[in-house]
Structures are given as structure tokens and as C-alpha cells.
Chains A and B, each alone.
Chain A
């Protein structure tokens, strides 16, 4: 099997809104290595969720190629497509909307098993109980309905549903942003334990940079539909290259009063421009403290500044 479980080449997803195209994702290149966690961060509207939904084919890409396990997704036959569906799963953001309120937890978890006809009868029941135990819930919870559970418990049910068909790759789309702090840690630890047990690969999409740094091996930073920086999580925090990454890191308040009293902030002016009408050249130039003439003219290409540290900025 190839080292890269997933390769994305020139991925674009534009939504036609009648008055113009919304370029939610505009030319993305990256790869995800087998067994790693790639974090994808950015502010709302930067297109990070669209990336996840396009990869799992909830959206049809406008342009570009997605290669999964060495095979281009668009060239797969029906059998390979089914295999692809089984190998890629998603955990959703909203634990209240992602579980069908009319189904029991057991049936929700078994949905993938039923669709792919993996187990029947007693075997199916055993598998559901096993999955419940894997995510730390009681077996008697199988007969209950989602509304009886707390947010964290529901998110664990969502994880069990994704695990049920034994995928290799899981896209987690803001899986903790709707949860309370103490519960977030439960879910994050669960993700990490499952990764160790099953050798899973994750694409972890979130806006909480501290949590992404905690769980990811490498992190990609997105701004207005474009990837602006991609490197390991230690390197990203220690040496952020792109001005956007720098200001993003400095904007996050740290839970330590002494640190906060002495810290200098880079506070960005203004707000993210509309993706319907993005600025010419580099999308960040309108808020960038280092903007130059050239930034308005051309979009800087992704360049490897140091081994394993890629950024798209004219400063380098």
C-alpha cells in the first residue's frame, strides 16, 4: 500500500449562487500519510469543512483529483467505490443533529453494518455492544434514544457509528466545538486511543488551534479557500511563517494570567473578506501587516521554505 493514504491535487469546490461563484475551496494540494493526524484550521468561512465534505464525496468537486490508496476516486468502478465508502468515514460537528432522533442508539451504530450487510442477528448485536464498550458507553444504552444522552455521549455514539464498518480513514469535522471543555478532552482522548488501537488516519478539522495542535502530527492553515501554510504542529507553533498564522497564534488567549499579562498581541485589522468577492492576488493581503505591491498582483505559490515546512507568502 502507498505511504500516502490520500493525495489531493488542485482541489476546487465552487458553489454557483446565481450572482456568482462562491469559491469555497480554491486549489488545494496536500497529502495525508498513513497513520497520521492532519489538522486543518482556519476561521469560519475559510472552506475547511467544505474540504472534508468534498473528500468524502458529499460534494462533487468542481476541479481537481482525489487519490485514495493510490487510486483516483473519479476513476473507480462500482466495487471500488463501495470499498472507498467503507474505508472513509466522517464524524460530524453537531452531536444534536448528527443522530436520527427516531432511531435507537443500537440501530444508529449498526446503520453501516446494515447497509453493507456485514453482520446479522446475534453477531450484529454483539458487534454493537462491542462498539458501545469501545467508546465507553454501557451496553444497556443500545435501546435508548439520542435525546437521552449528553453532548459528549452523543459524539461518542457518532464515533462508534463511523467505526462500525472498520474504516482506515476518518474525517472529523469540528467534532468537539459543540462540547463543554471537560467533555472535549474525553472525546479527544477517545480519538487518540482508537487511532492507536486500529491504526486509523485522521483529518481533523477545527478552529480551536490549541486542540488541533494537541492532536495533530501536521497542521494545514486555511484562509479564504486557500491553504497558506502546512507543517508539523511543533514547527507551526515554534516558527509560524505566514503572517496569518502568526496573528492567529497570537490571538488565542492562553489560560494563564501571568502569560496573558505580559504577552504582546498582533491584532488584525478588519474582518475576513467575502469569499464571493475575494481580493486579487493573495487573499490575506487586505489584513496583512506586511502587504506589498506584489501581493495584490499574484497569488504566491506554495513553497517549501524548510524541509517539511510549506507556506504561500511573497515574504519568502
Chain B
């Protein structure tokens, strides 16, 4: 047996803190942010999105050109110091037009997110929380809405309204919120049986308090993730509509209409199509990378 000093066998006089917590304190969002920061792809997506947004907001202001003025002296120019992205067949500056298009794409995405947050979250939340007959009726109603093809709604709307941003947004508001409503309803149905909600009820909490303090904060993570997938989807739909001529009206440009215009002259001036396509792809890619990263960061099942 090894030699040990006798003093070591004195009982410790102590007040060892048995309830000590060794890990640092982090709340849900801090923890998620910490995890997101470690995800290089998601952070790349986030930084690209911030840069693109800044360009979309400020680039058209700083440039001396605007998106509409035609200049037949400089049609179809290659990228140069004067025109960073060159010009199109009407001599309009593509740099400005592309950032204008980005602005419109991002605006459509933002609008879709707002509609989802207001209509989708409320509809799903109410349907799930009230349950029973109300839930049944609300679910059937949303299924009917969702069964109308989006393209049909858009084409019908364009017959009555002008093609443009507002028409696309209206078309989206009619059907686009249903997946979010379903997601939130599912979450709420599950959460309202959780013991912490029951505990709040036994303490005498009213429904409004339960929704604001318990249900919404706990569904927020999943809502944020859903939003990051809704936004690129809406951007894609707008681009698609503009590409087939149902979207933005010239001289206003969106990324979709720019790609469409560029496609016509692709064989002679490939940059007219490639540049808007690149920006467009970058937006979608960044949103998807960020969305995947957020899902990993916010998913409670990944927490330890």
C-alpha cells in the first residue's frame, strides 16, 4: 500500500456546495446563437444575406444611374468601370437594375414572412388552442383554400388586377400561409397538453396569458425556422412568375424578369443572364444554408 500522509485522513470541515451548477448559464436564444456561430455554412449564408441586403438598399442610391432611364448610346455593353455589370439592350445600367431586382425579391420574401407570421401563426394558434369543433371547421377551411392551385389564383387575379408586386403578394396571402398555420397548430396541440401549461391553468392563468407566456415563446424557434424556408420559396415563386411574364411589369425589374430578358440575348451577351442568375442563386442558397443551420441550432431535440 502506498504511503499517504496521515493528515489527509482528517474529515473535511466544509460546506461543499452540493447544488452547484458547473455549466455556464445560457438562455435558449443565447444557446442557439452560440451553436449557430459554430456552423460555418450557416454563418456564411447569414453574412452573404446581410451583404446582399445592404447592396440592395444602398447600391441604387449611390449609383448615378437609375433603373428606368434608357440610353441608346450604350446598349449591350460589357461590364466596365462605368457600368459595373454592363448594360442591357436599352442601355440601362444592369448594376442598378440587378440591385433593384434584389430589393424587390427581398421585399416579396419579407411580405411573405409577415403574412405567415400574422395570418399563419394566428390561424394555427387559435385553431390548435381552442381545439374541438372550432379546430375542425378551421382545418377544413384551410384545406379548401390550400387545394386551389397557386398558379390558378395568380392568373385569375391578374385578369382583374394589374400584374405587379401587389398582385403577387395578394395571391400569396390567399394560399401561402397554410403550411405555417398547420405547423403552428400541430405545435400548439402538442404544447397545450404539456404539464407546464396545465400548471399555469391550475394557478388560474387565463387563455391570453397562456398563449403569450407559454405557447408563443415555445413555438418561436420552429416558426423562425419555417420562415427561413418560406422566404426563399416566395422569392422563387415571384421570379418564376416574372420569368413567364406574369410578374413585375417593365421598366421595373425583378431578378426573375432580368433573367428572362437576359435569356433572350444569352448567346451574344451571356453576362446579362448570368449576373442576375448568380445573385438570385446566391440569395436562395444563403437562405437555405441559414435555414438548415437555424434548424440545427433551434431544434430542442439537439439540446443537451
Contact = CB atoms under 8 A, between A and B. Distances in A.
| A/B: CB atoms within 8 Å of each other | yes
15 contacts: A56-B202, A88-B202, A90-B202, A92-B198, A94-B195, A98-B195, A100-B217, A101-B300, A111-B203, A111-B205, A115-B204, A136-B19, A138-B17, A148-B25, A158-B199
B303 interface: yes
Interface string B191-211: 000111011111111000100
B218 A100 contact: yes
A100 B19 contact: no
A92 B197 CA distance: 11
Chain A interface mostly: loop
B196 A58 contact: no
A98 B209 contact: no
B28 A101 contact: yes
A92 B204 contact: no
B10 interface: no
A165 B199 CA distance: 13
A138 B25 CA distance: 14
Interface string A68-88: 000000000000001001101
Contact of B196 (A86, A98, A149, A165): A98
A103 B205 CA distance: 15
B23 interface: yes
B21 interface: yes
A99 B204 contact: no
B195 A97 contact: yes
B195 A85 contact: no
Contacts of A153: 19
A97 B194 contact: yes
Interface in B203-255: 203-205, 209, 213-214, 217-218
Contacts, number: 81
Nearest to B214: A100
Contacts of A90: 198-199, 202
Given A148-B21, A148-B25, A82 B195 contact: no
A143 B25 contact: yes
- Counting chain A CB atoms within 10 Å of each CB, the highest count among B17, B21, B201, B202 belongs to B202
A89 B204 contact: no
Given A85-B204, A115-B205, A144 B21 contact: yes
- Counting chain B CB atoms within 10 Å of each CB, the highest count among A94, A137, A147 belongs to A147
Nearest to B18: A136
B147 interface: no
Contacts of B202: 56, 58, 85, 88-90
A161 interface: yes
- Counting chain B CB atoms within 10 Å of each CB, the highest count among A58, A136, A148 belongs to A148
Given A97-B195, A149-B21, A85 B28 contact: no
A116 interface: yes
A141 B18 CA distance: 13
A112 interface: yes
Contacts of A19: none
Given A58-B198, A112-B203, A145 B209 contact: no
Nearest to A165: B203
Nearest to B21: A148
